[in-house]
Amino acid sequence: MGLATLTATAAGCRRHDGRPDGPHVTLRLADIPDGGRLAVQVDDQPIELLRTGRTLEARLLLCTHMGCPVAWVAAERRYHCPCHGGRFDDRGRVVEGSPTRALDRAPVFLDDDRVTVYKAKVVKPSTAAFHQGAVCDGDSRRLG
């Protein structure tokens, strides 16, 4: 899996057209293998794009326990967190360890053959500095 570093931009909360307004990257649909995955960096977040035809999912590759980067282990079809042994299945659901919720998702949009993925908005009270600045009132998820 390659890690593409693409241009990220801007700040704010939500654009008038209903899309998030903030750091994002844009790439071509053809850059993501059909049936495969591609990791991109959106601001300070590693995000994985998963594609099936023209269906896309964007998954934040940071553990929901304390924010360590997770790695996909294809042989096990699991994401591994190196910090405290957290494991997530191929849909991002917790299967083992300290995390209590699934990997977060990021907003992703497909326009013709152009994919735009935005920085995920995450609030994690136990680590207040974590993703500080990515919080938009009324738009963020409060996580216990």
Tokens 């600045």 -> residue: 133
Q: Please tell me whether residue 65 binds ligand FES under the rule CB under 6 A.
A: yes
Q: Please tell me whether residue 63 binds ligand FES under the rule CB under 6 A.
A: yes
| Pairwise CA distance, residues 116 & 25, whole Å | 6
Site pattern 83..112 for ligand FES (x: CB under 6 A): xxxx----------xxx-------------
| Pairwise CA distance, residues 95 & 143, whole Å | 19
Among 56, 68, 71, 135, binds ligand FES (CB under 6 A): 68
- Would you call 47 helix, strand, or coil by DSSP? strand
Alpha-helical (H) ranges within 1-142 are none
CB closer to ligand FES out of 109 and 130: 130
Give residues in contact with ligand FES (CB under 6 A): 63, 65-66, 68, 81, 83-86, 97-99
